Amino acid sequence: MLVFEFKAYGKSSQFIAVDDAIRTAKFIRNSCIRLWMDFKGTGKNDLQKYCAVLAANFPFANELNSMARQASAERAWSSISRFYDNCKKGISGLKGYPKFQKDCRSVEYKTSGWKLAGNRKSITFTDKKGIGRLKLKGTGDLHFYQVNQIKRVRLVKRADGVYVQFCIDVDRSENIEPTGNTVGLDVGLKEYYTDSNGAMIENPEFLRKGEKILKRSQRRVSRKVKGSKNRGKARQILGNRHLKISRQRKDHAVKLARCVVQSNDLIAYEDLRIKNMVKNHCLAKSINDVSWYQFRVWVEYFGKVFKRVTVAVNPQYSSQQCSRCGELVKKTLSTRTHVCLCGCVMNRDENAARIILSRGLGTVGHTGTFALDASNAWGDEASTPVGENLLEQVLSVSQESRSL
């Protein structure tokens, strides 16, 4: 499934209609959640049927396309099914009980309720919300795909405007020549990552560098009177600042992940539980700023596209274990060089990356050779259960971070 995104241009009245459609989608989703809470045993089909009941009772709900109403019900069921799955897996702590959505920013249409122009430069929404024709501008090219391949169309509201996303049903796959290289990646806060070959990528620190401007923009919002136009303008500027930082993180992660996957036949990385690690409030901002999880997601995605093997390994003691003899060498935060009695002396991050690579090769060795299909080597068997080794992970990050 490919997602192409274009910025939408139209009149102010059209964007008011987009806001109305988004509010209606939120209303339908929350109504489905309430139905599930009130009546035990409510299933997915019951939520789909309830959409017709809402359309009959509420005129504004009837104005939204029927398939868009069904898509909102599917969103509600997605949160419910995730809650059921977490309960079955016995995950410790909160199970993610479905909540009512307060801030909805998108509405999703299926195969009806919209019509794409022949030149692929505009789209017309045909339901009763009155959105009408919106011009599209972007770098993607929809001419390579048929209209029947477009399974979903989303209207997404962001700080700098409204965007239209097209979900295209196509399997992306590219064949490239094997390189014969393998690599282990040890992520950190000072360096973005250090690989098993000793190469280090600097942490861009997008949030840290833009924090001064963000604070100034936030102060301007706080000074304005609530509900005034000046406060609305200040909030718009603040939202654009945050949006720029999030786009910088994504762009950096995508380009770096693609380069790593294309250059190696096997990529081993740490199976870190970011949700647990950010509970350390001293490091939470830096961990979120470096966006390890986003980098991992794109590494796994490009691994499928280019048919490379990606393996997530247990990070326990990767910073303490010697990559040559396997002995544990205790280190403090200030110790940045690994020195072992066997004579091994190297940067501690490079040593950890070599340990990660050896564990990744050991995992793949149980399932096949480097010709193993990437979809069968996501490291699920080597993953750490949620909540396990939390202290070890936090301490590992603390030792590899700078003083904050």
Tell me if 225 is assigned to some domain.
no
Q: Residue 189's pLDDT is what?
A: 87
122 and 189 assigned to the same domain: no
pLDDT tens-digit readout, 331-343: 776 777 777 878 7
48 and 193 assigned to the same domain: no
Q: What percent of the chain has pLDDT over 70?
A: 90
pLDDT tens-digit readout, 292-325: 999 999 999 999 999 999 999 988 888 788 877 8
Tell me if 215 is assigned to some domain.
no
What confidence category does residue 402 fall into, taking pLDDT thresholds of 50, 70 and 90? very low
57 contact partners, CB below 8 Å, separation of at least 6:
none
What confidence category does residue 26 fall into, taking pLDDT thresholds of 50, 70 and 90? very high
Given 143, 168, 193, which residue is the final one in a domain? 168
Given 116, 142, 168, which residue is the final one in a domain? 168
Tell me if 117 is assigned to some domain.
yes
Tell me if 283 is assigned to some domain.
yes
**Residue span of the structural domain in which 40 resides:** 2-168
153 and 30 assigned to the same domain: yes
Q: Which of 79, 5, 1 is nearest to 250 (CA)?
A: 5
For residue 212, is pLDDT > 70? yes
Domain count, the chain: 2
322 and 346 assigned to the same domain: yes
Q: Which of 255, 234, 189 is nearest to 402 (CA)?
A: 189
For residue 398, is pLDDT > 80? no
Tell me if 213 is assigned to some domain.
no
CA separation for the pair 212, 216 (Å, rounded): 6
195 and 302 assigned to the same domain: yes
0.95 exceeded by the pTM? no
pLDDT tens-digit readout, 51-75: 999 999 999 999 999 999 999 999 9
Rounded mean pLDDT of 24-38? Answer: 95
155 and 294 assigned to the same domain: no
155 and 283 assigned to the same domain: no
- Tell me which of 34 and 95 has the higher pLDDT: 34
Q: Which of 84, 50, 85 is nearest to 69 (CA)?
A: 50
What confidence category does residue 104 fall into, taking pLDDT thresholds of 50, 70 and 90? very high
274 and 152 assigned to the same domain: no
Q: Residue 333's pLDDT is what?
A: 67
CA separation for the pair 257, 304 (Å, rounded): 12
128 and 195 assigned to the same domain: no
160 and 301 assigned to the same domain: no
Q: What percent of the chain has pLDDT over 90?
A: 55
For residue 370, is pLDDT > 90? no
111 and 190 assigned to the same domain: no
Q: Residue 367's pLDDT is what?
A: 38
11 and 74 assigned to the same domain: yes
Tell me if 176 is assigned to some domain.
no
Mean of all residue pLDDT scores within the chain: 85
